[in-house]
Amino acid sequence: MEGGQIIVRYKFENRPEGEFSTSLPEGHWVSNFYVVSDTSFSFNIQKNMVRPRSVKFAIQYTESDGSRIYVDSLTVSQGGNDADVIIEAKNLTGEYYSEAGISPNPNYYTWVSDLGLWVKDSEGINFDIYGPIPEKEQVTINGSVRDIIKTLPEGTYYYAAGSYEYYTFSEYSFYGVYTGSHTSGQFGYDPRVAITGGELTITHLDSEGREVSLNASVTGEDGKVYMLTFTGPLTRFLYY
């Protein structure tokens, strides 16, 4: 999964005078080939956060007249994660609705993202979570006293459309990127991909749950698997 430089031990017999090259295009995840000596060459691979990948390519020399001499082929394989989209979230916030709204039970409308709620280009997943009633406390925000929750209930939550029972999250959950616009009734998130399956686990990292970890692997309506991780405190999770 990690990227970096790879050195391949290789014996060049009667090495051509032309320029060392490969059949890979510019911008490939395997790049920056360099002949270190007659016994090795090196290249770089990019870090891979999604599916495992592999590529086979030709090792060649390009002569001054443009002709190519093929020397050998090489296959590079790199591990990854069982996911199509990886989100390393840095912010967890949201709103707890103590009275039933769009669903018959109170819910935690939770936005876990790399930049935060209502921040342009923020990428994340909105989880519509159902769990035990939270403890709340009062804080002053912009000169007004507001109620916030202390923490999210610890446990593993499963996708369950139409259930709205404790330790589930609903069909109102989605993956999105905030565009900064509230047009078209999409609350500024585009693309908006509905979550259709999966689970998330919330773990308290201290006795009061002020620090939490949240790990999720969910499936979207586009067929992709979204993996999200977060470690840190809640940010102004309002209680209504």
Tell me the pLDDT tens digit for each residue of 27-56. Answer: 788 888 777 666 777 888 888 777 788 888
Looking up tokens 């007004």 gives 144
Joined tokens for residue 191: 């693309």
Q: Mark whether 187 and 109 lie in a shared domain.
A: yes
Q: Which structural domain, as residue segments, surrounds residue 91?
A: 85-239
End-to-end Cα separation, the chain, in angstroms: 43
Whether the model clears a pTM of 0.85, i.e. scores above it, the answer is no
Q: Mark whether 165 and 201 lie in a shared domain.
A: yes
- Closest by alpha carbon to 233, among 210, 205, 200? 210
**Taking all residues of the chain, what is their mean pLDDT, rounded to a whole number?**
85
Is the distance from CB of 57 to CB of 8 less than 8 angstroms? no
Q: Mark whether 138 and 92 lie in a shared domain.
A: yes
Q: Mark whether 208 and 90 lie in a shared domain.
A: yes
Number of C-beta neighbours around residue 132 at 10 A: 12
Q: Mark whether 95 and 209 lie in a shared domain.
A: yes
Q: Of 33, 54, 78, which residue sits at a domain end?
A: 78
Looking up tokens 């009061």 gives 208
pLDDT of 211 over the 60 cut: yes
pLDDT of 119 over the 90 cut: no
> How many angstroms separate the CA atoms of 196 and 226, rounded?
11
Q: What is the pLDDT of residues 69-82, one digit of tens each?
A: 777 788 888 777 77
Is the distance from CB of 224 to CB of 85 less than 8 angstroms? yes
Q: What is the pLDDT of residues 157-166, one digit of tens each?
A: 999 998 999 9
Q: What is the pLDDT of residue 45?
A: 86
Q: What is the pLDDT of residue 197?
A: 96
Q: Of 78, 94, 117, which residue sits at a domain end?
A: 78
Number of domains composing the chain: 2
